Amino acid sequence: MDPRHLFFDDRLKTDGCVYCGAASESRDHCPSKVLLDEPFPSDLPVLDACRSCNEAFSPDEQYVACLVECVLCGSTEPRVVHRPKVRRILEENPKLAARIKRSRHENMAANVSWEPELHRVKNVVLKLARGHFAYEFSVPVLEEPYYLNIVPLVSMSESERSRFESPLEDSLLAPWPEMGTRAFLRAARALPARYSNGWIVVQPGRYRYRVGEPGNVDLVLSEYLACTVAWDEI
User: pLDDT digits over 127-151, tens only?
Assistant: 999 999 999 888 889 999 999 999 9
Ramachandran angles phi, psi of 132, nearest 5°: -65, -40
Buried b (16+ CB within 10 A) or exposed e, 122-157: bbbbbbbbbbbbbbbbbebbeeebeebebeebeeee
CA-CA distance, 143 to 107, in Å (whole number)? 41
How many of the other CB atoms lie within 10 Å of CB of 205? 10
Number of domains within the chain: 1
In a domain, 72, yes or no: no
Task: Give the residue numbers spanning the domain of 37.
Answer: 3-62+117-230
In a domain, 178, yes or no: yes
Q: pTM higher than 0.95 for the full model?
A: no
20 within 8 A of 142, measured Cβ to Cβ: yes
pLDDT tier, 13 (very low <50, low <70, confident <90, very high otherwise): low
In a domain, 76, yes or no: no
In a domain, 107, yes or no: no
In a domain, 70, yes or no: no
In a domain, 98, yes or no: no
In a domain, 170, yes or no: yes
User: pLDDT digits over 41-81, tens only?
Assistant: 988 999 999 999 999 999 999 999 999 999 999 999 999 99
In a domain, 127, yes or no: yes
